[in-house]
């Protein structure tokens, strides 16, 4: 199988990203088929320590920031995000480098064999494009010797294909009304879906939320015996100087203060950076060798294009893929 064949195979499956109004149920989004597939691959999703990030706004940026700092800390780090700009390969990275065409083809071929061996015996239905890509990512990370993986939820959280991980830290970024035809018509309903990533005994980092959202997440944490770290209360930030390329801020963490710069613009990115720092402090408490220097270096070097990105100033040209204000 070459890359083009692999790409065609991946895109031949049902793609819920391009299929609106699919019923959001445990039957349609059945994690049993993902768990079965990953078990046949040797459970690669359980190899690396994991940061799992859900939310409506800022989850991709936060996931990328966490991965960049972990790489700067000397750890081989996988990054899984969605969607992509140009190539499926953008979604799967190790230490910032996209999975190459040969690796993608090899991983797809291996996962395809596992799918064929399943023979739909789980009764959980056929795999989707996103579920397949998720399996490819975890397989690639395990084959690549990844020590940490920073994983962005695709849709919601509770029934998302990524929700098979056992995360050391869960992050819930800002929640607002989006995908209401799938996740729910109210903020508390959407929050309940996002909070579905919270596992027993984990630590949860939560961005500032509307009161109804905060109550849902806090309640889920109590029910799961999970520790809750609130950004805006337990961790805060102050804005510094900025120009058209980057902005400075001071993050007041639970373990220390951090003077950092990020090459991402907007007040919302300072909140995302504070969420990332809060998550990294949790990983440090769990034994990660993450220092103030690696936090500063990793945040300064994060690459996350298409987010209020200035492409030129004569005239000003800004590229922004945001779709939720």
Domain limits of the chain?
Answer: 3-319
> Is pLDDT above 90 for 167?
yes
DSSP characters for 190-206?
HHHHHGGG--TT-EEEE
Residue 76's pLDDT is 99
Mean predicted lDDT score pLDDT of the chain: 92
- Which of 202, 226, 156, 197 lies closest to 52 in space, CA to CA? 197
Across 150-165, average pLDDT: 95
pLDDT confidence of 27, banded at 50, 70, 90? confident
- Which of 319, 136, 82 lies closest to 90 in space, CA to CA? 82
Q: Where are the alpha helices (DSSP H) in the chain?
A: 3-12, 31-40, 59-72, 101-118, 129-143, 180-183, 187-194, 211-224, 267-285, 292-300
Q: Could you report the per-residue pLDDT of 37-62, keeping only the tens digit for each?
A: 999 999 999 999 999 999 998 999 99
CA distance 228 to 282: 11
124-138, 158-172, 266-280: least confidently modelled range: 124-138
Q: Could you report the per-residue pLDDT of 302-312, keeping only the tens digit for each?
A: 998 888 788 88
The angle that helices 129-143 and 3-12 make with each other, rounded to 10 degrees, is 140
Instruction: Collapse the DSSP code of 54 into the 3-class scheme (helix H, G, I; strand E, B; otherwise coil) and give the result.
Output: strand
Across 122-146, average pLDDT: 90
Cis peptide bond N-terminal to 315, omega within 30? yes
> Is pLDDT above 90 for 296?
yes
Residue 15's pLDDT is 82
Q: Which helix (H) or strand (E) holds 238?
A: strand 236-242
CA distance 273 to 291: 15
| pTM of the shown model | 0.94
> Is pLDDT above 80 for 122?
no
CA distance 305 to 43: 31
pLDDT confidence of 121, banded at 50, 70, 90? low
User: Which position has the token pair 């291996």?
Assistant: 110
Residues in contact with 169: Cβ distance below 8 Å, sequence separation at least 6, in sequence order: 51, 52, 202, 203, 204, 205, 279, 282, 283, 286
Class of domain 3-319: alpha beta
Across 193-205, average pLDDT: 96
Structure tokens at 294: 């690696």
Residue 317's pLDDT is 87
- Which of 152, 190, 182 lies closest to 17 in space, CA to CA? 182
Q: Could you report the per-residue pLDDT of 229-241, keeping only the tens digit for each?
A: 999 999 999 999 9
């Amino acid at each position: 199988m070459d890359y083009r064949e692999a790409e065609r195979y991946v895109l031949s499956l049902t793609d819920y990203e391009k299929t609106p109004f699919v019923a959001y149920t445990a039957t349609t989004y059945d994690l049993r088929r993902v768990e079965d597939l990953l078990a046949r691959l040797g459970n690669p999703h359980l190899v690396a320590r994991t940061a799992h990030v859900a939310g409506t706004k800022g989850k991709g940026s936060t996931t990328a920031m966490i991965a960049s700092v972990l790489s700067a800390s000397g750890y081989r780090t996988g990054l899984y995000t969605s969607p992509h700009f140009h190539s499926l390969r953008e979604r799967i990275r190790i230490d910032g480098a996209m999975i190459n065409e040969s690796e993608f083809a090899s991983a797809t071929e291996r996962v395809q064999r596992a799918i064929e061996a399943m023979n739909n015996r789980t009764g959980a239905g056929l795999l989707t494009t996103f579920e397949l890509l998720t399996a490819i990512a975890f397989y690639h990370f395990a084959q690549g010797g990844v020590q940490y993986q920073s994983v962005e939820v695709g849709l919601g959280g509770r029934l998302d294909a990524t929700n098979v991980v056992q995360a050391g830290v869960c992050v819930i970024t800002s929640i607002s009304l989006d995908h209401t035809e799938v996740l729910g018509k109210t903020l508390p309903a959407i929050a309940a879906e996002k909070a579905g990533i919270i596992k027993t005994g984990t630590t949860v980092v939560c961005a500032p939320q509307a009161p109804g959202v905060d109550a849902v997440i806090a309640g889920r944490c109590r029910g799961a015996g999970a520790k809750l770290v609130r950004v805006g209360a337990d961790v805060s930030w102050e804005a510094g100087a900025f120009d058209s390329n980057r902005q400075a801020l001071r993050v007041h963490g639970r373990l220390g203060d951090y003077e950092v710069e990020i090459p991402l613009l907007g007040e919302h990115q300072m909140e995302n950076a504070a969420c990332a720092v809060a998550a990294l402090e949790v990983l440090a408490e769990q034994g990660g060798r993450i220092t103030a220097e690696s936090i500063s270096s990793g945040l300064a070097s994060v690459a996350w294009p298409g987010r209020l990105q200035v492409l030129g100033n004569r005239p000003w040209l800004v590229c922004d893929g945001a779709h939720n204000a």
